[in-house]
Amino acid sequence: MSKTGWALLLVVVLGILLFIAMMMIQKPKKSEPEPVQEEETESLGSIMQNIVRLAEAGKVPDVPFTAGETEQQEVQQQWGESQNVAEIGNEKYEDYIAQDVTIGYQNELAFDIRSFKADIQKIHLADIKSSMGEPTEIRYYQDEATNQIILVYLINSIYRLKWILPKPTETDSNPSVHHISVYTEIKDEVADMINQMTLDEKIGQMLFAGVSGTALQQETSSLIHDFKVGGMILYANNLETPAQAITLINDLMAANTDNRLPLFIGTDQEGGNVVRLPGALKNFPINKRIGAINEPQFSYEIGSILGEQLKAFGFNLDFAPVLDVNSNPRNPVIGDRAFSDKPHIVSELGIQTMKGLESQQVIPVIKHFPGHGDTSVDSHLALPKVMKSLEELNKLELIPFKAAIENGADVVMIAHILLPNIDETYPSSMSKEIITGILREQLGFDGVVMTDDMTMGAIANHFEMGQAAVDAVKAGNDIVLIAHGFSNVTSAIEAVKAAVNNGEITEDRINESVRRIIQLKQKYQLEHKLVPAVDMDKLNANIEKVLNTYMK
């Protein structure tokens, strides 16, 4: 072959090879699942398995709390305050935005834990049904902003797992999850009890009444049997000797045996110049002296011994400690009953006395909110007027109360003081601005609120007793204290009942107070238990020991 022929053949061969190479480049490769997709599918399955596994224990992923077990206080300790709150009936839902979680509470117990985390939102409707089968129940929810389908799966006898998604449409038949919810039904025994109570029983629980004489009299028996009052206050003139005092208190408890709830039996045993217990019982120094010593452990032990004394006589509630800041030297009613004119000393020592009482299962009542220390009039005789603003109260008088509430105070007593810069019409014990606005809303107190004695001159000289009781309840009080006069107590009960019947006060409002009262009685395990003779020597020996330790 000639050189020209070989050259031509080489060109043809190279052209064929080039064509084959280009065809191989253009030929599509056979598609195969990408490793990333396999990992996502596997991860999705793991997420769903983890959700179901945790739901069996009442939990959702990455949340340390358990539905039906965790209390609101524990959540706040770990996560702080929530960012949004919504209330629906007796349920409260709080949003914890940083955690992508919403928790629903009933009576401060978490019952519904919802997660909006991003990995959960990767799951679709088809994934749920493929993995879990048909739901136990399908629900729907729609408002102006949402249109949702809710798949409910009964996980076990305690917990339900809910998948909440946008309702499927023609354009999106397989929507992704919006959030999940692990939910449990909380048996509300208190609500069941309230539902069984008559209106008379409910209103009776909201009255704390005085006792006449040194023995159980017919009027007192009537207040217990006929009017179902929830508590009794005893003064020094009711308590002559230890034996007589115990007989009277045992008779009060025996008279209440057939009623649904045990009685509060309380007195003012502050120590110092305000003591009620009879007999040769040694006393503690005045609070002003204790404040000068300024030893928190001393205050705790005083509270503990006061509780021990009261418990020995059959009392379950003490109208103490005093948390007033004695800022006015001319104050005729607080004075040396206050620990100090410095709010931080009042706060620390008052809280320790409160905790000491609690250690003996005696209910402390912190008083006199919003602060009686800057008055120049005795509210037993007339109505004091204090020209302070809320800003000024926040800088002094409210400091000890705020601190005590943060330390778990259960009961707050409201003073009879007119604060015209806050409420120019009603004294604090009847003021919605002060009780609901400041105590409930600003300070966040959800325990029992009670008035000081409504027969004191500050109220009795200016208001009719029945209407005063109605106004006190409307302001936010749970308990109205009427320490003197059978007719005063019955007038208050009848007026509150009439206000409910004519719609001025709703029965739901009454139920709120009764719930708090029942929960308080349950917390301190109040019971009808007769008291034996008091061992005065033992009580005095305990006082001596503490005094010798701190007052050398």
Phi–psi pair at 229, nearest 5 degrees:
-60, 150
Closest CA to 405 of 374, 448, 373: 448
pLDDT for position 314: 97
pTM as predicted:
0.75
The reply to whether 380 belongs to the active site is yes
pLDDT for position 10: 57
Enter the tokens of residue 433. 């601005």
Low-confidence ranges of the chain (pLDDT < 70): 1-42, 331-332, 376-378, 552
| CA angle, 40 then 44 then 49, to 5° | 150
For the chain, give every domain's residue range: 43-187, 190-545
- Cα gap 239→237, rounded to integer Å: 6
Closest CA to 191 of 473, 511, 476: 511
**What fold, for 190-545?**
TIM Barrel (3.20.20)
DSSP string, 129-194: HHHH-S-SEEEEEE-SS-EEEEEEEE-SSSEEEEEEEEPP-SS-SSPBP-EEEEEEPPP-HHHHHH
pLDDT for position 348: 97
| CA angle, 67 then 408 then 471, to 5° | 100
Closest CA to 252 of 290, 285, 216, 212: 216
pLDDT for position 17: 58
Asked if residues 326 and 341 have their Cβ atoms less than 8 Å apart, the reply is yes
Phi–psi pair at 399, nearest 5 degrees:
-60, -50
Tell me which of 124, 178, 380, 462 is the catalytic residue: 380
- Cα gap 290→103, rounded to integer Å: 44
Place of tokens 């480049």: 25
Tell me which of 423, 452, 453, 471 is the catalytic residue: 452
- Cα gap 160→138, rounded to integer Å: 12
Phi–psi pair at 233, nearest 5 degrees:
-110, 135
The reply to whether 452 belongs to the active site is yes
- Cα gap 245→106, rounded to integer Å: 41
